[in-house]
Amino acid sequence: MDEAALRAQLAALGGSLFARGYSVGTAGNISVRLPDGFLMTPTNSCLGRLDPARISKLAPDFSHVSGDKPSKEVFMHRAVLTARPDAGAVVHLHSTHATAIACLAEPGEFAPIPPLTPYFVMRVGRFLPVIRYYRPGDGAMEKDIHEAAKGAKAVLLANHGPVVSGRTLEDAVHAAEELEEAARLALLLRGAGARSLTPAQVDDLLNTFG
């Protein structure tokens, strides 16, 4: 997909996430890897009203090249995109249920959402490391996220929200949606003695679809 098509896809998927309540106000940001750098949603932009022409473009060293001023979370995206060379995109949301889990889970925890359903395991994987709280935009979060992202497609930022990567932008959006659904199920079933997939079932999914 060329850059113009990716810009259009980014605006369309941002609009879809916003319309379905995965992001409110100006929360959330998205980055996409290009052959000559990255696209990044502008700071203080609403995912529901992105103008493809004004999306920020970053150089391979993540410096601002063109478009509006990029998200304050460039460090967060750089942490994942450099840890995962196979990742084509990163989606950060404040989606309600994943953020609720991020408020309950202990920093350092690796699996705050149980493997209740196959699609959570297939899209997000076995681990969802919980990173300690940092102020939004704080560059100090980069190191922790970078280390955790080497072994996980997604991380949860304590009291903030999920950061999810994917091979493509569409993959990252799908994984962010599955993560939000899994978080919702986990909260719905909290204390109900729900049956999780067994380790063998998780292995089977990851061997087949991972």
Active site members: 73, 119
Q: Using the minimum distance from each CB to ligand 13P, give the nearer residue, 72 or 126.
A: 72
What is the longest distance spanned by two Cα atoms in the chain? 52
Dig out the tokens for 92 from the structure. 């950060």
d(CA 9, CA 87): 17
What is the 3 state secondary structure string of 198-210?
Answer: CHHHHHHHHHHHC
Q: Using the minimum distance from each CB to ligand 13P, give the nearer residue, 55 or 175.
A: 55
Nearest to 154 by CA among 63, 74, 76: 76
CB of 186 to ligand 13P, least distance (A): 22
Judging by DSSP bridges, how do beta strands 130-131 and 154-157 pair with one another?
parallel
CB of 30 to ligand 13P, least distance (A): 9
In the complex, residue closest to ligand 13P by CB: 71
d(CA 153, CA 173): 12
Q: At which residue do the structure tokens 């993959």 appear?
A: 171
Q: Using the minimum distance from each CB to ligand 13P, give the nearer residue, 45 or 202.
A: 45
Region of 2 please: left (phi>0), alpha (psi -120 to 50) or beta: beta
| Interface contacts to ligand 13P, rule CB under 6 A | 26-29, 41, 43-44, 71-73, 92, 136
CB of 61 to ligand 13P, least distance (A): 19
